[in-house]
Amino acid sequence: MKVLTKFVSGLLALASLGSTAEVVKRAALTQVTNFGANTSGTKMYIYVPNNLATNPAVIVAVHYCTGTAQAYYSGTPYAQLAEQYGFIVIYPESPYSGTCWDVSSTAALTHNGGADSNSIANMVTYTISQYNADASRVFVTGSSSGAMMTNVLAATYPELFAAATVYSGVPAGCFYTGTVDGWNTTCAQGQSIHTQAEWAATALNMYPGYTGSRPRMLIFHGSADTTLYPQNFNETMKQWSGVFGYTYGSPQQTLAQTPSAAYTKYVYGPNLAGIYGTGIGHTVPVMGDQDLAWFGITGSSSPTTTTTANPTSTTLATSTTTTGSTGGCTAAHWAQCGGIGYTGCTTCASPYTCRVSNSYYSQCL
């Protein structure tokens, strides 16, 4: 069983590795090969901005199935935002055929158990050591399979991350098969339905005995998701409600048309919120401004909206196959504009064009 790379050993290793921080090219996606224990063979890529802050924050950005570090670097706004705000971005890359993440094995779902989750944790400790990064401002985000890994990292390494944003994933542990990089159809189709207490226990048992702080969670999902079905939004909200001691189904605020017309935001408290998109397929487009606000890198970017009464139902989201209108609307910069199951705007605002990232996701770039 591998353990996290220790700060002290990382510093001692600098003598043999050379000053890796100096040789990493600024403002370019660069691979790092000697970041610590890596039993799964996960690849590490890093983006260090020209405008690097003193004691910078770190964002770990985890790609989707079929994706790569390069694809997520090119298709999301984090590198551009890094230049503006001076943080570092780590882009892990899955070692498996199809490039999904291992969120199904016992090792991956166990603190210091090895597998992808441990490798990514070691990327974080390496980066903190090499760049004198602020260990209290490390964040993680991901889409689809990367969103699953984000939930797993929040459960297995809560001491490393201050906050997380999850784009169209499933609860931590939901994809368990006992095999490496397995596929769990029951979970994917939203049929793994459990109580708040059961889901919370699943997450807490990934790091037995841990009593420290846990990352604040912002969960995104779409009602027209036919890859990871919409019920997974409800189950994920149950899980983190239980972890933080909130009552699932009773958010403190329900904000209509937030952060934009297609979405409703459910705020449970400072540690948990969910954003549910009506007519949005797989996956919800990355919202860099929402992420940075949730992480505390910027101020709140949500518009002021009317607060409605708290729902009494224990289910906040329902699946829909209604096709949204695509006529007479434009998608903003960074917004989704196409892909399997997508029903929103397909025309990008000028001067941006709709570019295909994969079969399920095109984005205005």
Which sequence positions are flagged as catalytic? 144
Other Cβ atoms within 10 Å of 328 Cβ, number: 7
